[in-house]
Amino acid sequence: MPFTLERLAASTVFQTALSIVWSATGLGAMVGGARAERRVMWIAGATLMGAVVLKLFLVDLGNSGTLERIVSFLGVGLLLLVVGYFAPVPPRTDRDVLARSDGG
């Protein structure tokens, strides 16, 4: 496959790989944020997971009936289940309140 933006955007294999990589990155941020009790990091990972879910419905659903779409939905769904078990949202701490009041 030629390495052009148009061909990559049209490739179902590339779109599936993109969804899985983004989901794994979001999962890593959420697990890391939960273990380090860094709520901002967890929220960044959750935002990325939300973007992946939007991408699934807006981009991947357009390629209905393909094996790649099925793999993409199942892969992201399994990662979301893993997040719910291993990375619950950390409780709000004084550090979060201070970070917000300092502007960062």
C-alpha span between 15 and 101 (Å, rounded): 39
Per the structure, the count of domains in the chain is: 1
Please give the structure tokens belonging to residue 66: 């393909």
Domain that holds residue 92: 5-101
Look at the chain and count its residues.
Answer: 104
pTM exceeding the 0.75 threshold for the entire prediction: no
Q: Residue 44: what pLDDT?
A: 93
Written as tens digits, the pLDDT of the chain (104 aa) is 677 888 887 887 888 888 889 988 998 999 898 888 888 999 999 999 899 888 888 887 776 567 777 777 787 788 788 777 877 777 777 665 565 665 55
Please give the structure tokens belonging to residue 31: 């697990």
